[in-house]
Amino acid sequence: MLYLDHAATTPVRPEVLQAMLPHLTEGFGNPSSHHTVGERAAQALADARARVAAVVGMRAGDIVFTSGGTEADNLAVKGIALAAALRAGAPAHVITSPIEHEAILASCDFLERVHGFAVTRVPVSATGRIDPDAVAAALRPETALVSIGYANNEIGTVQDVAGIAARVGRVPLHLDAVQAAGWLPLAGTGAAALSIAGHKIGAPAGTGVLAVRGRIPLEPLLHGGGQERGRRSGTESVAGAVALATALELAEAERAAAAARVGAQTDAFIAAVLSARPEARLTGDPVHRLPGSASFTFAGTSGEAVLLELERRGIVSSSGSACAAGDTEPSHVLLACGIAPEVAHTAVRFTFAHGAPASSIDPLALAAAVGAAVAAVRSGE
């Protein structure tokens, strides 16, 4: 089986398992406990925090360990916006885009519906790019947050985050970097807050980080014992923190080489698919895209039918985001890019691993298999 759904989740790396195992066995202490076992756990947690901070270019005190990317996005959007509203004594304003992960969109909807916030959803181009000038034009005196995905999880489009950061001024910029980690630089983006999910980079599911600069007021979502400097209560998973720190360091060390290697494979695969199937259309930006992401629509087919045919041929891929389980509606990302609903239903996404050796995938053979699967669906075989 050839697994090409790494944007949904990717295997835990052996080095990560080895690093976290001691903290699941003899190093099991609660880091809040004031005895030797707890102090050892606290030291391991502090070390993991410092290692993550080094990769994202922030301070150790800026790192908040979470249960994953969804919690990190919720904490960023709700936490920063609500803190601003509490200081102002009135609902604030948030800027985002219509192609964001549901964790951001639903958080903005919550602020709008429950707390009376105003939300501006800046439109995107046909390739999913946000114009930084449109973000600047949407700013208001009461804008509390700009929340944008660094790279889109469905179409792989990478945003001009430097351009956006330059235009938001003193308004905090939150980047959902869940898909970007391991492919794009995380330090020096100009962001005030950054979300990461461990299971996209070789750590277990249930691990994540919100890196948020200490000067940014943040209203916690979880209350209790005051862990994570009061920003996220609950006994920390030391093993999870160590796992995420290890996976993030490995991904960052390999990032440049992996991006070049996998990007060349992906480019060859995209070109071959477009050549083989006249009805194929690449979604997302052809230039500003994640190295390991290739997504297409195949007019005249059903995306789900193509997926089943591909799996019958030993290739596992997806029709888009894995985070909207059971959703039969066309992708909100593709609709926002101006793709008709009936065409959006034909979408298929292929996402490659960071660590796969160049010899493990033949782009031309893969494209031929995809072409054969599409042809079989179109012919009704």
Residues 216, 192: contact at Cβ < 8 Å? Answer: yes
Q: Are 244 and 12 in contact (CB under 8 A)?
A: no
Cβ–Cβ under 8 Å, residues 146 and 108 = no
Q: Which of 232, 229, 230, 208 is nearest to 221 (CA)?
A: 232
Q: Which residues of 61-77 are buried (b: 16+ CB within 10 A; e: fewer)?
A: ebbbbbbbbbbbbbbbb
Q: Is 323 a catalytic residue?
A: yes
Q: How far apart are CA 273 and CA 189, in angstroms?
A: 33
Q: Among all chains, which residue has been given the structure tokens 């790019």? A: 129
Catalytic residue (choose from 323, 364, 368, 376): 323
| Residue 348: alpha-carbon gap to chain centroid | 18
Handedness of CA 108, 112, 117, 123 (dihedral sign): positive
User: DSSP alpha helices (H): ranges in the chain?
Assistant: 14-20, 36-56, 69-88, 102-115, 132-138, 161-167, 238-276, 303-312, 332-336, 341-344, 363-379
What's the CA gap between 353 and 265, in Å, rounded?
A: 11
Helix axis angle, 303-312 relative to 363-379, nearest 10°? 120
CA–CA gap between residue 235 and residue 248 (Å, rounded) = 22
Catalytic residues: 323
